[in-house]
């Protein structure tokens, strides 16, 4: 900005005003509260994933990759729906 003001003295007052302007701060959005379903699903997903994870951190045979992940998702949703409908 100082270089621009030195190159064009007519713009110096405008540039100084631009430098001094504060940008308006937006209010931070409150963090959403997870629903009961979301908490139950998270608990079930973690339990199923832990059950099919080996000691070295890899997924058991047949449970790796995208298809294994989708199987875990479906099982967790199914178990959660069963729990929530009791």
- Prediction pTM value: 0.65
Tell me which residue range forms the domain holding 44: 33-86
Residue 7 has pLDDT above 60, yes or no: yes
Placement of tokens 């729990």 in the chain: 83
d(CA 77, CA 45): 8
pLDDT at 8: 74
Q: For residue 54, is it within any domain?
A: yes
d(CA 50, CA 38): 18
Residue 1 has pLDDT above 60, yes or no: no
Mean pLDDT taken over the chain: 88
C-alpha to C-alpha distances, 46 to 39, 50, 58, nearest whole angstrom? 11, 6, 15
The total number of structural domains in the chain stands at: 1
Q: For residue 2, is it within any domain?
A: no
Identify the band that residue 5 occupies on the pLDDT scale cut at 50, 70 and 90: low
Residue 84 has pLDDT above 60, yes or no: yes
């Amino acid at each position: 900005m100082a270089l621009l003001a030195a190159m064009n003295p007519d713009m110096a007052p405008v540039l100084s005003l631009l430098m001094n302007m504060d940008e308006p701060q937006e209010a931070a959005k409150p963090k959403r509260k997870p629903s009961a379903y979301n908490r139950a699903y998270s608990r079930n997903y973690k339990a199923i994933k832990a059950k099919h994870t080996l000691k070295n951190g890899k997924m058991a045979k047949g449970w790796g990759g995208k298809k294994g992940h989708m199987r875990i998702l479906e099982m967790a949703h199914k178990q959660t729906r069963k729990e929530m409908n009791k």
